[in-house]
C-alpha cells in the first residue's frame, strides 16, 4: 500500500459513521448565549473524542446547526400572560422547523426561561428530541450527591419553578434569592450582558450570589440563565465558589446524543 493510500485509510477510520446524528441549537435568546452554547458543544465533542482515545480532527465532529433567531422576551411574555405567551412559542417553532428540515434529531434550547414552552414545543415536533436543561442539570447534580443548591436566574424562570421542580424530583433542595438579589440578577442580565456592559453585569451577579450564600451557606450555585456564566465564571470573587453551568451540562448532553452510536 502506498504512503498516501495508508494515510487515507487511517484518516477514514477516524471519520464519524454515516449514522451519527445531526443536532441543533435553538439560539437568539440572547445571541451571545446561543454562540456560547455552540462553543460548549464543540468543547464537549472534543472531550468525548479524547476520552475514547480518538484523534481529534475536523471531520470527527458531528453536523450541528445554530438557529439564531429573534425570539420575543420570555420573562416579559410570562409576566404578561394570555396571548403574549404565543409570541415566543411561535418564534421558537419557526426556528425548530428549520432545524428539523436540516435533519437535526436532537435540539438544545440556549435559554433557560424558554423551557417554560418546552412541553408545547416538544408536542409540535415529536420526531425531534428536545433536551430539557433543568432535568439534565438535576440528573448531573444528583449523580454527584449534592443535597442543596442556590439558583441564580431570571424572574421568568423563578415564576415557572423550572429548576425547583426538576431538583425536587432529584431530591435536591433549591434556595432562591431574596427580592434584592432577584433585582440584581435582572439588572446584570439586561443592563449588563445584553447591553454589552460585562463589568456591570459581573458586579451585579457577584453581589446577588453573595447575598444568597449569606443566607444559605456556601452551596453550589446554578447559573440558571445562559447569560450569567458569560460574566460570572471569570469573576475573581467567584474563584472559590462552586458554580454550575447548565449550558455546559446541556452541551454535553447534546454531544452524547450526537455520538449516540458510540455509547
Q: Give the CATH number, domain containing residue 228.
A: 3.40.50.1860
Residue 18: its pLDDT value, please?
Answer: 35
Interval 118-153: pLDDT, tens: 999 999 999 999 999 999 999 999 999 999 999 999
Query: Mean pLDDT across the stretch 62-74?
Result: 95
Residue 7: its pLDDT value, please?
Answer: 44
Are residues 143 and 233 both part of a single domain? yes
Query: Measuring CA to CA, which residue among 220, 178, 22 is closest to residue 104?
Result: 22
**Residue 22 predicted with pLDDT over 50:** yes
> pLDDT band at residue 178, thresholds of 50, 70 and 90?
very high
Residue 54: its pLDDT value, please?
Answer: 86
Q: Can you list the positions of beta strands (E) in 90-156?
A: 106-109, 129-130, 148-152
Are residues 166 and 53 both part of a single domain? no
> pLDDT band at residue 2, thresholds of 50, 70 and 90?
low
User: What's the Cα-to-Cα distance from 91 to each of 50, 118, 190, 204, rounded to whole Å?
Assistant: 37, 13, 20, 30
Q: Report the C-alpha gap between 186 and 191 in whole angstroms.
A: 8
More confident residue, 10 or 57: 57
Provide the CB-side half-sphere exposure for 152 (13 A, CA). Answer: 37
Query: Measuring CA to CA, which residue among 235, 209, 211, 210 is closest to residue 222?
Result: 209
Are residues 23 and 150 both part of a single domain? no
Are residues 173 and 237 both part of a single domain? yes
Residue 20: its pLDDT value, please?
Answer: 66
Percent of the chain with pLDDT over 70: 91
More confident residue, 18 or 128: 128
What the block records as the C-alpha cell of 174 is: 433549591
Are residues 19 and 96 both part of a single domain? yes
**Residue 3 predicted with pLDDT over 80:** no
Percent of the chain with pLDDT over 90: 85
Are residues 220 and 198 both part of a single domain? yes
Residue 68: its pLDDT value, please?
Answer: 94
Are residues 69 and 160 both part of a single domain? no
Checking DSSP bridges between strand 23-27 and strand 106-109, what pairing results, if any? parallel
Are residues 161 and 105 both part of a single domain? no
Are residues 162 and 97 both part of a single domain? no
Query: Mean pLDDT across the stretch 26-47?
Result: 94
Q: Which domain holds residue 157?
A: 134-245
Query: Mean pLDDT across the stretch 77-101?
Result: 96
Residue 19: its pLDDT value, please?
Answer: 45
Are residues 123 and 140 both part of a single domain? no
Q: What's the whole-number average pLDDT of the chain?
A: 92
**Residue 4 predicted with pLDDT over 50:** no
Residue 98: its pLDDT value, please?
Answer: 97
Are residues 17 and 87 both part of a single domain? yes
Are residues 117 and 37 both part of a single domain? yes
The C-alpha cell 453581589 sits at 207
More confident residue, 54 or 182: 182
Number of separate domains in the chain = 2
Q: Report the C-alpha gap between 112 and 223 in whole angstroms.
A: 10
Q: At what angle do helices 179-187 and 198-216 cross, to 10 degrees?
A: 160
**Residue 5 predicted with pLDDT over 50:** no
Query: Mean pLDDT across the stretch 155-172?
Result: 96
Amino acid at each position: 500500500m502506498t504512503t498516501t493510500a495508508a494515510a487515507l485509510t487511517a484518516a477514514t477510520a477516524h471519520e464519524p459513521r454515516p449514522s451519527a446524528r445531526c443536532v441543533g441549537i435553538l439560539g437568539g435568546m440572547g445571541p451571545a448565549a446561543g454562540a456560547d452554547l455552540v462553543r460548549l458543544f464543540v468543547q464537549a465533542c472534543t472531550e468525548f473524542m479524547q476520552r475514547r482515545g480518538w484523534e481529534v480532527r475536523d471531520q470527527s465532529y458531528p453536523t450541528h446547526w445554530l438557529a439564531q433567531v429573534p425570539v420575543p422576551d420570555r420573562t416579559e411574555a410570562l409576566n404578561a400572560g394570555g396571548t403574549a405567551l404565543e409570541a415566543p412559542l411561535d418564534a421558537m417553532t419557526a426556528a425548530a422547523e428549520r432545524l428539523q428540515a436540516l435533519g437535526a434529531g436532537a435540539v438544545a434550547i440556549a435559554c433557560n426561561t424558554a423551557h417554560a414552552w418546552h412541553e408545547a414545543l416538544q408536542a409540535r415536533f415529536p420526531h425531534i428530541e428536545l433536551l430539557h436543561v433543568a432535568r439534565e442539570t438535576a440528573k448531573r447534580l444528583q449523580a454527584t450527591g449534592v443535597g442543596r443548591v442556590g439558583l441564580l436566574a431570571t424572574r421568568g424562570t423563578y415564576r415557572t419553578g423550572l429548576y425547583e421542580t426538576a431538583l425536587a424530583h432529584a431530591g435536591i433542595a433549591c434556595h432562591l434569592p431574596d427580592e434584592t438579589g432577584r433585582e440584581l440578577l435582572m439588572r446584570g442580565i439586561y443592563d449588563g450582558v445584553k447591553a454589552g456592559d460585562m463589568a456591570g453585569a459581573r458586579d451585579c451577579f457577584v453581589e446577588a450570589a453573595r447575598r444568597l450564600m449569606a443566607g444559605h451557606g456556601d452551596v453550589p450555585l446554578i447559573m440558571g440563565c445562559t447569560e450569567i456564566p458569560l460574566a460570572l465564571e471569570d469573576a475573581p470573587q467567584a474563584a472559590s465558589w462552586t458554580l454550575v453551568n447548565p449550558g455546559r451540562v446541556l452541551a454535553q448532553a447534546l454531544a452524547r446524543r450526537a455520538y449516540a452510536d458510540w455509547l
